[in-house]
Amino acid sequence: MTSSIDNQIALSYANSMKVPSNLSNANDTKLKETTDKFEAFFIKKILDVSLKNENTLFQKDAGDKIYNSMYNDAISNAMGGKFGFSQMLFDFLKDRG
């Protein structure tokens, strides 16, 4: 018996989370976008390691790696900027000037 994750519920929950909008100028907006992208990259690396499919029951075909990479990329981009790591990094870099 395998357990599956309902991705639609997870993504709708992530999209419902509020992201603070205290961006005062264009530089803050660019910095926030960059920190969100970094968080998405970080999440993708975690997903790549944790969702590694080592099922030996079925043969691997050429599209498996591409599909899994695209899936992890889509999930990480949807979740980027919503875990709090991005906001913490944004605040740190903004204070450092």
Nearest CA among 13, 89, 5, 79 for reference residue 43: 79
Render pLDDT for 36-95 as a digit per residue (tens, 0 to 9).
999 999 999 999 898 887 766 777 787 888 888 899 999 999 999 888 999 999 999 998
pLDDT value of position 56: 65
Inform me whether the pLDDT recorded for 13 exceeds 70: no
pLDDT value of position 7: 66
- Tell me if residue 66 falls in helix, strand or coil: helix
Classify residue 34 as exposed, middle or buried by CB count within 10 Å of its CB (0-12, 13-18, 19+).
middle
- CA-to-CA distance for 94 and 51, rounded, in angstroms? 34
pTM of the model: 0.68
Inform me whether the pLDDT recorded for 25 exceeds 50: yes
